[in-house]
Amino acid sequence: MYRAEVRIGLKKGVADPEGANTHKTLKLLGFEDIREVHTVKLFTLDVDTDSEAAAKDEVERACRRLLANPVIHDYQVTLQKA
Amino acid sequence: MKRDEMRVGVCIIEGSNSEDETAAAFRSLGTNAEVVHLKQLLHQDVPQDEERTLDDYDVFVIGGGFSGGDYIRAGAIFANRIRSSLFDDLKGFVKSGKPVLGVCNGFQVLVELGMLPDLDSQGLSERPEAVLHLNDSDRYECRPTRLKHVNRGTSKITAHIPLGEVRIVPSAHGEGRLLLHPSDPDKTVKTLADNDQIVFTYTDENGNDEVPYPYNPNGAPGGIAGITNRDGNVLGMMPHPERSFWRWQHPDWTRTGGLKKNGPEPGDGHAIFEGVVRYAEKAL
């Protein structure tokens, strides 16, 4: 079994209203040193296989198929044997 | 095809809404409209007499609101449930020239399905070509919006609406900012405008283009509110025409004819449903 962490982020240049809004609020609270805020979505997927390559392939297909929209999203996958 | 023979399927999954108003709008135009759950089309967990196929319908509609909790992204769950099971059938449906209407969440579903903008005229695609991204305001925006019809002929569903005509149709969404090229908003507008795929844009009381918030509720480049596919038989739009189908649904209905005695007067959203039916009457 492998546990995958999939981090879905917005591509560079895509407006991130949620991040911008959070940043604004943090500034109002006095967090002057925080330069930028970006939001990401994190999924954990447990993949039923003993092969790391197979797990990676399965998760990447899931990203392309459902978890990310390639128009605006980048994704990063990290795998850990569970 | 005659109206009373026309079969309209308003497709839902768990957590859909607005389907009753949408089906009622089509019924009031003389068609046979019914709400159909995706499971009925897949023959899953339904009694035999409730099983349907896409061939049972001449018009396919996905209404809006929400669906499947809008987890992952708005419309992504619904779109991928369709893609996994009805991909070829729906592709055949679209390529045969039958009309498809997607409103709000339905528009998001059609975009996630690759049925819009469908730049290569494939019908449907494995990957989305566009996205309806979070509103610029980072919140749900809900108010009447003014829509200008800007299509010069590609959109067969809105062919009867004069170019430049403005209609009031309510918007209610959190993710409505259409993007094809996220880092280059101008390119999004140019790509769609060059193909004459833009159908409606947000405008103000003076009919201006490129209007700011709050006239444009989501910050979509070029104020794009609705688009069509290359063949002109699929229309996706963020605002809800079923919510201004009758004049009495307009905020100023008592001043604008909603009280006429010879039955309810049509509202500004009426023309969109009428357009779907007229197109199907002619084409099928």
Distance of residue A11 Cα from the nearest chain B Cα, in angstroms: 8
Burial A36-74 (b: 16+ CB within 10 A, else e): ebeeeeebebebeeeeeeebbebbbebbeebbbbebbbe
How many domains does one find in chain B? 1
Q: Please tell me the predicted confidence (pLDDT) of residue B83.
A: 92
Check CB contact of B170 with chain A, cutoff 8 Å.
no
Q: Please tell me the predicted confidence (pLDDT) of residue B263.
A: 76
Contact B185, B221 (CB under 8 A): yes
Contact A69 B183 (CB under 8 A): no
pLDDT digits (tens, 9 = 90+) for A7-61: 999 999 899 999 999 999 999 999 999 999 999 999 999 999 999 999 999 999 9
Q: Please tell me the predicted confidence (pLDDT) of residue B254.
A: 85
pLDDT classification of A81: cutoffs 50, 70, 90: very high
Check CB contact of B116 with chain A, cutoff 8 Å.
no
Q: Please tell me the predicted confidence (pLDDT) of residue B258.
A: 72
Distance of residue B112 Cα from the nearest chain A Cα, in angstroms: 8
Check CB contact of B112 with chain A, cutoff 8 Å.
yes
Residue A82 has pLDDT above 90, yes or no: no
SS3 B108: helix
Interface test with chain A among B126, B132, B134, by most A beta carbons within 10 Å: B134
Check CB contact of B182 with chain A, cutoff 8 Å.
yes
The residues of B carrying an active-site annotation are 104, 240, 242
Instruction: Tell me which H or E stretch contains B189.
Output: helix B185-194
CATH number at residue B21: 3.40.50.880
Alpha carbon of residue B139 to chain centroid: 21
In B180-222 the beta strands, taken as DSSP E runs, fall at 198-203
What's the CA gap between B112 and B129, in Å, rounded? 8
Contact A17 B72 (CB under 8 A): no
CA dihedral B41, B46, B48, B52 (to 10 degrees): -20
Q: Kindly state the tokens that stand for B253.
A: 């209905």
Domains in chain A (CATH in brackets) are 2-81 (3.30.1280.10)
Q: Please tell me the predicted confidence (pLDDT) of residue B19.
A: 97
Amino acid occupying residue B11:
C
What's the CA gap between B203 and B220, in Å, rounded? 12
**ipTM score assigned to the predicted complex:** 0.84
Residue of A nearest to B129 (CA): A71
Amino acid occupying residue B164:
G
- Determine if the peptide bond prior to B182 is cis (ω within 30°): no
Contact B133 A65 (CB under 8 A): no
Q: Please tell me the predicted confidence (pLDDT) of residue B142.
A: 97
Contact A20 B135 (CB under 8 A): no
SS3 B32: strand
Range of the domain at B169: 3-283
Residue of A nearest to B184 (CA): A13
Q: Please tell me the predicted confidence (pLDDT) of residue B64.
A: 84
Check CB contact of B159 with chain A, cutoff 8 Å.
no
What's the CA gap between B277 and B284, in Å, rounded? 10
Contact A71 B130 (CB under 8 A): yes
Q: What is the pLDDT along chain B (284 residues), one digit of tens a residue?
A: 999 999 999 999 999 999 999 999 999 999 999 999 999 999 999 999 999 999 999 999 999 889 998 999 999 999 999 999 999 999 999 999 999 999 999 999 999 999 999 999 999 988 899 999 999 999 999 999 999 999 999 999 999 999 999 999 999 999 999 999 988 889 999 999 999 999 999 999 999 999 999 999 999 999 999 999 999 999 999 999 999 999 999 999 888 777 777 778 899 999 999 999 999 999 99
